[in-house]
Structure 1
C-alpha cells in the first residue's frame, strides 16, 4: 500500500498494489500493520456496504459528532465514484476546504478520512457499490450532515445531480446553521 496525503491534513489516498497473473488479480484491502501509520491506536468496529443505483446520485455529506467521531476508509468495489471529504475542524488551516478523488473497482484506491470531516460521494456510473470501514459505532444522536450544494463549501460535483435522499436534501447550508462537532 502506498499513502498519499491530500491537501487536507490527515486525509489520505491509499493506493493498493495488486498482484496480477494469468488467473486474475489479488489485492490486500486491509492490513493492520501497513495501515498503522494512519489508523494509529484506533480499531475498525464496522464494515459497511452501500449500493447506489443511479449515475449522478449523491450520498452525503455525513459526519458523526464527538465523542462518536469516526475515521472512515472508503473503497469502491463496483463501478466508480467521486468521493469527497470536507474538513470541519475549526482549528485546521484547511477548515471548510474539500478534496475529491475518483475511486473505482478498477483503480482499487481507498480514501482514509479522519475524525472531524464530512464525507459524501457521487455515483459516476449506475449500480456502484462501496465498502467502508469505520472506527466508531454509529450513533443516531450524534449524526450530522452538510448540504451537498452548500456554496460556502463549493464542492464541484463532476456530473449533474440526479438523486439525493430526502434526509440529505434537507441538511442546512453553513450560513443558515453553523456546524458543531
Structure 2
C-alpha cells in the first residue's frame, strides 16, 4: 500500500509507493492515480521531466511557474539522493515564506508532492544524481520565476556538500523573498 506523510506544511506530501522484491529484482507501481485520488489528490499530470546533476552539491532552484502556468510537481530520484525543498509563496497563507524539506533518494524509494504556489529546489547529496518529476502544466519561459536558494529569511538548513555549491547563473542572482512579489494571491 502506498504510504502518504504530510510534512509541516500539510499540502506538501511525502509519498512512498510499495516495492516488491524477490531473487529477480523488484517491481513497483511508482505512480498510481487511484492511490493519489484515494488520498484526495486529484492532479492531471501533463509532462514528465528528468535531470542529471553530475556533481554532489548541485543546487537547482528555488523555482516556480506563475499562473496561468503554475505547476504542481511529483518529484522522485532515479539514482542518488537529494535534499528537496518547498517554500510556500502563496500570499495570505499562514505558512507564507516557510520552507519544508525532505530527503528523497533512489534507496528510500520516496517521492515528494509539491503543489502549485510553492517554490521548489533541491541540492544533490551524491554525484550523478538523476531526478524525475511530473508536472501538471507546461513550461513557460515568460512565467518562470525564482527565489534565492540560500536567502537567510527562509531559514533553510542546507546540507554541507564539502565544497561550494554548484549553481546556474540564474539561480545565483535570484531575488530574496523580501524583494519578491508573489503571483500567488
TM-score per shorter chain, which class? Answer: over 0.9
Per-residue deviation, residues 3-29 of structure 1 (Å, max 9, x unmatched): 111111311000122101111111111
Q: Where do 5+ consecutive residues of structure 2 fail to align?
A: none
**Partners of 2:34 and 2:183 in 1: how far apart?**
34
Q: Secondary structure at the match of 2:34?
A: helix
Contact residue 147 and residue 177 of structure 2 kept, 8 A: yes
Q: What aligned pairs does 1:11-90 form with structure 2 within 5 A after superposition?
A: 11-36=12-37, 37-40=39-42, 42-90=43-91
Instruction: State the 1:50 CA deviation.
Output: 0.4
Q: State how far apart, in whole Å, the 2-side matches of 1:176 and 1:71 are.
A: 24
TM-score by length of 1: 0.95
Aligned to 1:172: 175
SS across alignment from 1:175: helix
Q: Distance in 2 between matches of 1:18 and 1:110?
A: 13
- In the alignment of these two chains, the number of paired residues is 180
Whether the aligned pair in 2 keeps the contact of 1:54 and 1:162 (CA below 8 Å) is: no
TM-score normalised per structure 2: 0.93
User: What is the distance in 1 between the residues matched to 2:115 and 2:179?
Assistant: 25
Looking at structure 1, the residues matched to 69 and 145 of structure 2 have their Cα atoms a distance apart, in angstroms, of 11
Aligned to 2:145: 144
Take 1:2 and 1:95, find their aligned partners in 2: how far apart are those partners?
Answer: 27
Quote the Cα distance in structure 2 between the aligned partners of 1:49 and 1:122.
Answer: 15
Give structure 1 stretches of 5+ with no counterpart: none
Q: List structure 1 segments (4+ residues) > 6 angstroms apart after TM superposition.
A: none
Specify the SS of the correspondent of 2:153: coil
